[in-house]
Structure 1
């Protein structure tokens, strides 16, 4: 999946069709910018959300843009095989969302990438983000459709809202 995402294609894990569709839609809006499918860890003490998964690109701004460093480690759950830890860029606005065709809705929130959590527990790539908006609302809204969301670099609010409007979808701001 790492290389597919780096080349501007979709590499979606766990048979997650919603996230794959989200990645296709946003790649079309951003000339191939990949997304990072993740599960959340909400750190209320630091007021951060940590997006965690073992499948991440290292060309977060698109296939022809600069790369960020990465490491090849074992997969976290069984300590076997190989998994990529992408050291994701910090200091940038992120847009995290999920499209649900059957509901005609988009879950949406934004934040600022502030750190890469290198803790050995759980998934290898872990991006810490300070969410814009209400962290408690984000915490209570997260399980609306399940765990996965897709994080993209950049302020994509306007194009996401325009696409949702054109498709007749409702945008639900989670934070």
Structure 2
């Protein structure tokens, strides 16, 4: 799958690829999940984006370029207001969150969580760092943004394989209420990217919406 992804990207002179992984697998159109291939692409400073999510693919393409190769992490949220934590959960993540030349963290290869088939990644991501989560909407000329400090990795077997726990900066109740503004996915990056994102939005004439 990884070699096929690289070949398609080379053919189209592309830095990003996204695949309808769940629909393709359940519909019998593909016979393996793309998670491991995406994992390798992300570690190389390229884009492998889940679930044919064009908006998140665009977000990753923009911000990975802005950060000189840092990988984004698409996720669905679990928001625990009692613990003041958000858990970013998905079955694909890089294990070089600071870019291709940065340090690597441990990871495990497990089955995909929804159906216990195929192969997916549990990346045990670094704790104690500020993260910036984003979603770009070019059709609206807007960017959603919130930040959180990484505090742990959940090993709970339920839900997606990689589960990064973080404490949001700001109002978690507001974040809970804002989350479904444009859909479920956000893209998380390691680092305090608030200032460069605001500068990028200003240059593009876009608006940044702070979620928390």
1:80 CA drift (Å): 1.2
The alignment status of 1:146 with 2:183, answered yes or no, reads: yes
Q: How far apart in 2 are the matches of 1:32 and 1:62?
A: 5
1:89 CA drift (Å): 0.5
Segments of 5+ residues of structure 1 without an aligned counterpart are none
The equivalent position to 2:167 in structure 1, one of 122, 130, 136, is 130
Q: Secondary structure at the match of 2:49?
A: coil
The equivalent position to 1:111 in structure 2, one of 148, 153, 160, is 148
Q: CA RMSD in A?
A: 0.5
Q: How far apart in 2 are the matches of 1:17 and 1:23?
A: 10
What residue in structure 2 maps to residue 72 of structure 1?
109
Q: Which has the larger radius of gyration?
A: 2
Q: Secondary structure at the match of 1:11?
A: strand
The equivalent position to 1:3 in structure 2, one of 40, 51, 71, is 40
Q: Secondary structure at the match of 1:60?
A: coil
Q: Secondary structure at the match of 1:41?
A: strand
The equivalent position to 2:194 in structure 1, one of 152, 157, 166, is 157
What residue in structure 1 maps to residue 83 of structure 2?
46
Higher relative contact order, chain-length normalized (CA < 8 Å, sep 6+)? 1
Q: Matched residue pairs, number?
A: 175
What residue in structure 2 maps to residue 167 of structure 1?
204
The equivalent position to 1:14 in structure 2, one of 51, 57, 69, is 51
What residue in structure 1 maps to residue 35 of structure 2?
none
Q: How far apart in 2 are the matches of 1:150 and 1:44?
A: 21
Q: How far apart in 2 are the matches of 1:9 and 1:29?
A: 13
Q: Which has the higher helix share?
A: 2
The equivalent position to 1:82 in structure 2, one of 114, 119, 124, is 119
Segments of 5+ residues of structure 2 without an aligned counterpart are 1-37
What residue in structure 2 maps to residue 60 of structure 1?
97
CA-to-partner distance for each residue in 1:109-149, whole Å, 9 max, x for gaps?
Answer: 00100000110001000000100000000000000000000
1:81 CA drift (Å): 1.1
1:31 CA drift (Å): 0.6
Q: How far apart in 2 are the matches of 1:98 and 1:76?
A: 24
